[in-house]
Amino acid sequence: MRTHRTFEASITNPRQVSDDLDQLGRAASKLWNVGRHYAQEQWDETGEIPDDGELKSELKGHERYRDLHSQSSQRVLEELAEAFNGWFGKRRNGDNRARPPGYRKRGDSHPRSTVSLKAAGFKHDAQFNRVRLSKGRNLKEHRTDFVLCEYELRPDVDLSEWDIQQVRAVHKYDEWRLHFVCRKSIDPEPPGDSVAGIDLGISNVAALSFGGESILFPGNALKEDEYYFGRKKAKCDDSRSNERLRLDRKRTERRTHFLHTLSKHIVSECIERGVGTIVIGDLGGIRDDENGESRNWGKHGNLDLHGWAFDRFTSILDYKAETEGIDVTVESECNTSKTCSACRTKDGGQRVERGLYVCDECNTVANADVNGAENIRRKVTPSPSPDRSNGWLAQPSIHLFDCSEGCFAPREQVVDCKP
């Protein structure tokens, strides 16, 4: 089995390479605009949009095409074709508000687009943490033939263990970063055949049920970050100011670390208990009402909801579990919060408070989120847990994010901290 990962790295020699990367990024934007103009001409003449094959064939002799390495130019035109396909798909599904991809312009200057290079366009030096990115023919005439970037990754990532398929130079938050797209073959044995269920939420970002034991992961640290950075950003006069960009970058980095740490901790808890399958609730429609419009959860509810990236967390958990041989399946959360996990009685009125579920039929008292997680678990394992006592349902273990250590731990071991 092959697994794919994308690792983000910071560039440690930005002064030496930023000008060259800016030049490549703006060249990619110009090529996008050339392709967009050609597509518009074909649309006006024939009523059809050219695919990526036609774009490459027609524009490979263009001056802007030769500003970049051929693989980088090809990827720009592939992305343009993908953007048009996405627009067509939305229009076919009845979304009349969808707009075709536009030109990449900002006033008289071009924004810095992502520059992608495959194996022939870069050379990686794992020993000294350097990667050499090739330039296009036109840009080689004026300066060096390549851009030599020095980088730094997370301490737990060793690229020598991976086959690097692609390197991307990405400009965000007013700086360049590198994305290494990698793959390797793995064949892990599952830790066991037990099943765990996960209920995702806002107050408690995750409730984990093993069918006899449960863990809650409150989202205090994530919510504190959202409120803290929201207030700080509100004091910035300019939405594009350096301070605003710095706050956005820091908030994103902290949220990303939180999601990775949470998923890693959940996987380690599952390994310890011999779990071979994780069942996670599907929250795909939580942001929309029955009419497909954005649902209003109130001022604080909307802020919490937008700060909690459900889909991204599921994706991160999936690949971390995959490397350990654990299968992740997504199941509908329909009625899981209304149903008693002990006797299966369905009654929406039994969730008497936000965090308390009391069944009138069998007198089960449970934490509402744990009850939901157990119902999600039982979608894959219909038979109930042999332990139907109220203890593990009503009194789950609480694991908090320890900001001082950057990890999750039982509540009694965690020191309170602020951003």
Residue 302: its pLDDT value, please? 47
Entry pTM? 0.69
* Cβ atoms within 10 Å of 393's Cβ, excluding its own: 26
What pLDDT is attached to residue 345? Answer: 83
Nearest-angstrom CA–CA distance, 165 and 251: 29
Specify the pLDDT at position 54: 94
Pick the closest to residue 398 from 413, 416, 417 (CA basis). 413
CA separation for the pair 61, 165 (Å, rounded): 26
Phi, psi of 46 (to 5 degrees): -115, -15
What are the residues facing 330 on neighbouring strands? 280
Question: How far is Cα 377 from Cα 396, in angstroms, rounded to an integer?
Answer: 16
pLDDT tens-place string over residues 178-189: 999 999 887 888
Q: Using CA atoms, how far apart are residues 196 and 162, in angstroms rounded to an integer?
A: 30
End-to-end CA distance of the chain: give it in Å, rounded: 40
Q: What is the mean pLDDT of each run of 10 residues along the chain (419 residues)?
A: 87 94 94 94 90 94 93 95 90 85 76 92 94 90 81 89 95 91 88 93 90 90 84 79 82 88 94 95 59 51 55 89 92 85 78 77 86 90 60 87 84 65
Q: Compute CA 412 distance to the chain's CA centroid, rounded to the nearest angstrom.
A: 30
CB 364 within 8 A of CB 343: yes
Using alpha carbons, select from 228, 230, 204, 226 the residue that is nearest to residue 217: 204
Question: Given strand 194-200, what is the order of strands in its sheet?
Answer: 327-332, 275-282, 194-200, 204-209, 214-218, 397-402, 407-410
Residues 214, 238: Cα–Cα separation, whole Å: 46
Dist. CA 326–CA 269, nearest whole Å: 12
> Residue 274: which of 200, 213, 342 has the closest Cα?
213
Q: Report yes or no: 340 and 359 within 8 Å, Cβ to Cβ.
A: yes
Three-class DSSP labels, the chain: CEEEEEEEEEECCHHHHHHHHHHHHHHHHHHHHHHHHHHHHHHHHHCCCCCHHHHHHHHCCCCCHHHCCHHHHHHHHHHHHHHHHHHHHHHHCCCCCCCCCCCCCECCECCCCCEEEEHHHEEEECCCCEEEEECCHHHHCCCCCEEEEEEECCCCCCHHHCEEEEEEEEEECCEEEEEEEEEEECCCCCCCCEEEEEEECCCEEEEEECCCCEEEEECHHHHHHHHHHHHHHHCCCCCCCHHHHHHHHHHHHHHHHHHHHHHHHHHHHHHHCCEEEEEEEECCCCCECCCCCECCCCHHHHHHHHCCCHHHHHHHHHHHHHCCCCEEEEEECCCCCCECCCCCCECHHHCCECCEEECCCCCCEEEHHHHHHHHHHCCCCCCCCCCCCCHHHHCCEEEEEECCCCEEEEHHHCCCCCC
Distance of CA 117 to the CA centre of its chain: 22
Structure tokens at 406: 């950057």
The pLDDT value given to residue 289: 47
For residues 136 and 73, give the distance between their C-alpha atoms in angstroms, rounded to a whole number: 9
Residue 287 is predicted with a pLDDT of: 44
Q: What is the pLDDT of residues 246-282, one digit of tens each?
A: 888 888 888 888 999 999 999 999 999 999 999 998 8
d(CA 276, CA 266): 13
The tokens for 217 are 């992961």
> Which residues, 6+ apart, have CB-to-CB distance to 261 below 8 Å?
401, 406, 407, 408
